[in-house]
């Protein structure tokens, strides 16, 4: 006989005596439990696997398969081993209780039992087991979520690596700018909770370049107007590509807006000042810095002093002045601590020529 109540704690009673089962049913009826009854050990094990009870009330003295044997099977079964087992016993001797604990019993209720004691113990152990099950379920969900995010991040890394394989002159650029972007963001007080979005956005900042033909992407000379028109579309293509991925939506600011400029002369939307998301304003400086001090198909790397002069000159034009201040402080600290970037090159381009060529957007420095 079973007494079913939706969403109630499940209690399986295994006892060979019908009178005892009837007494337990009368005591526990209307107490908020879903009751299941088995009249012997094998039947109880079968029902336990079918219903996965929250608590098992198990008689010890049963023919063929006693309660000790049943409990041993329960503790060896991966589906059942966590279920609390309360022995129902008329045995008062110490040896029986020790044997019960050895096979995995959680508690003992002595026959004839006190009704209040039985209800109280059962209520306590079901509540604790429900809480334990809830915590395990939450832990399992958190672990599954962690594994899912790791898989997502591995995919992101794969996208970034695939793009750099195509544009081999910028190989390593995405990983380099991630570290510096996060350091600069911390200096500017960006909450830790947003750092993962910054990291993903920085990794994927140029993903839209998959839409740029190789002839343009690898061109060693200046781009003509038609080629620039195509190149300026890559932030839009990045947005269109990534916006359908729900968990990447908070990371879109960098891929979509990192070519916007503080004075409104950037692309693709011509945003101005604080209309540009902070993540994009931070990344813009890091992206340009890394590009300036790295060799590209269309020019040699600049030395660090020339690159820093350009960053200063573009404060309030290309870059947010506050972000420039934090960036320069960061670079000064790095220099004082002898943590210089390893890719400093030599260039004969003068500071004024750098600023003029860059401002004209003729493609001689950064694309």
Identify which has the larger pLDDT, 186 or 220.
186
Confidence tier at 67 by pLDDT (50, 70, 90): very high
- pLDDT, tens digit (0-9, with 9 covering 90-100), for 113-149: 888 888 888 888 888 877 777 777 777 777 877 777 7
How does the average pLDDT of the chain come out, rounded?
84
Q: How many CB atoms lie within 10 A of CB 324?
A: 20
Helix (H, G, I), strand (E, B) or coil at 353: helix
Helix (H, G, I), strand (E, B) or coil at 162: helix
What is the DSSP secondary-structure string of 78-94? TTTTTS-EEEEE----H
Q: What is the mean pLDDT of residues 281-292?
A: 94
- pLDDT, tens digit (0-9, with 9 covering 90-100), for 304-357: 999 999 999 999 999 999 999 999 999 988 887 754 444 444 343 444 444 444
Structurally, at CATH architecture level, domain 167-360 sits in: Orthogonal Bundle (1.10)
- pLDDT, tens digit (0-9, with 9 covering 90-100), for 162-205: 666 655 555 567 778 999 999 999 999 999 999 999 999 998 89
What is the model's pTM? 0.57
Is 361 a residue whose pLDDT tops 90?
no
Give the β-pairing of 34-38 and 2-3: antiparallel
φ, ψ (nearest 5 deg) of residue 196: -65, -35
Q: How many CB atoms lie within 10 A of CB 149?
A: 12
Residues pairing with 85 in the sheet = 56
Residue ranges covered by each domain of the chain: 2-139, 167-360
Question: Alpha-carbon distance 60 to 197, whole Å?
Answer: 58
In the chain, what percentage of residues exceed pLDDT 70? 85
Run of H or E residues at 10: strand 10-14
Cβ pair 201, 251 in contact under 8 A = yes
Peptide bond into 132 cis (omega under 30): no
Structurally, at CATH architecture level, domain 2-139 sits in: 3-Layer(aba) Sandwich (3.40)
Is 358 a residue whose pLDDT tops 50?
no
Those residues whose C-beta lies under 8 Å from the C-beta of residue 196, and which sit 6 or more positions away, are none
Q: What is the pLDDT of residue 282?
A: 97
CA angle 32, 74, 47 (to 5 degrees): 50
Confidence tier at 25 by pLDDT (50, 70, 90): very high
Q: What is the pLDDT of residue 171?
A: 57
């Amino acid at each position: 006989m079973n007494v079913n109540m939706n969403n109630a704690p499940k209690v399986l009673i295994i006892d060979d005596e019908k009178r005892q089962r009837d007494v337990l049913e009368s005591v526990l009826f209307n107490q908020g439990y879903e009751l299941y009854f088995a009249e012997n050990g094998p039947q109880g094990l079968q029902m336990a696997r079918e219903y996965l009870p929250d608590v098992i009330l198990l008689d010890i003295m049963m023919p063929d398969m006693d309660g000790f044997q049943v409990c041993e099977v329960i503790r060896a079964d991966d589906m059942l081993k966590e279920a609390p087992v309360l022995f129902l016993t008329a045995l008062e001797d110490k040896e029986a209780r020790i044997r019960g604990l050895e096979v995995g019993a959680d508690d003992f209720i002595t026959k004839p039992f006190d009704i209040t004691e039985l209800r109280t113990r059962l209520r306590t152990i079901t509540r604790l087991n429900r809480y334990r099950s809830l915590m395990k379920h939450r832990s399992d969900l958190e672990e599954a979520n962690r594994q899912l995010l790791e898989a997502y991040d591995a995919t992101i890394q794969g996208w970034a690596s695939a793009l750099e394989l195509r544009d081999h002159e910028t190989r390593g650029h995405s990983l380099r700018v991630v570290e510096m972007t996060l350091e600069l963001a911390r200096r500017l007080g960006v909450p830790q909770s947003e750092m993962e979005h910054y990291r993903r956005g920085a990794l994927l900042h140029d993903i839209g370049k998959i839409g740029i033909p190789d002839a343009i992407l690898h061109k060693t000379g200046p781009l003509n107007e038609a080629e620039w028109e195509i190149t300026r579309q890559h932030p839009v293509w990045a947005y269109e590509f990534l916006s359908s991925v729900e968990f990447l939506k908070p990371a879109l600011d960098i891929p979509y807006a990192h070519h916007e400029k503080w004075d409104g002369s950037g692309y693709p939307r011509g945003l101005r000042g604080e209309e540009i998301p902070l993540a994009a304003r931070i990344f813009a400086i890091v992206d340009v810095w890394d590009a300036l001090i790295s060799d590209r198909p269309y020019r040699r790397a600049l030395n660090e002093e020339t690159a820093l002069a350009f960053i200063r000159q573009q404060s309030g034009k290309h870059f947010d002045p506050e972000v420039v201040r934090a960036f320069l402080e960061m670079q000064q600290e790095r220099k004082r601590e002898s943590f210089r970037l390893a890719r400093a090159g030599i260039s004969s381009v003068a500071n004024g020529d750098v600023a003029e060529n860059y401002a004209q957007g003729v493609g001689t420095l950064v694309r």
